[in-house]
A = this chain, B = another copy of it.
Amino acid sequence: MKIANLRDVAPTQELPGVLKREVITASDGAPNFCMRVFDIDPGVSTHSHSHSWEHEVFILTGRGVAVSGEKKTPIKKDSVIFVPPDEHHYFTNTGKTTMRFICLIPNSAKYSSCSIGG
């Protein structure tokens, strides 16, 4: 069993105003999927993209919008978001404080150091 506190995991800068903490990864022995925590500064958006793997997201703090194509949906603390494979998406912090969320991806994703192969 690995137990850590979020504050003890060093962040990397994913984009200007976007910090990423990889808290459970394949290198911990996670066999199927990995957990990351993102901090988004006010006014900042995540990558606008699509890819072949899913996201499972839980908003921890703050508020913003989840965007899929032309559709924008408000999100806030306790929002749950499932982004299916190949669906365009991004998230924008529309509030005045950090928007923090958990985002999980499968190990098969070719994007992240969470991935065994990527």
Chain A interface residues toward B at CB < 8 A: 1-7, 9, 23-24, 28-35, 37, 54, 56, 58, 60, 66, 68, 71, 73, 75, 78-85, 87, 89, 102, 104, 106, 108
Cα distance A26–B32 in the bound complex, in angstroms: 15
How many angstroms from the CA of A83 to the CA of B35 in the assembled complex? Answer: 13
Copies in the assembly, this chain: 2
5 chain-A/chain-B pairs, Cβ below 8 angstroms: A2-B82, A24-B82, A30-B54, A35-B104, A104-B104
Checking B1, B9, B87, B102 against A83 with a beta-carbon cut-off of 8 angstroms, the contacting residue is B1
Residues of B within 8 A of A87 (CB): 1
A78 touches B7 (CB 8 A): yes
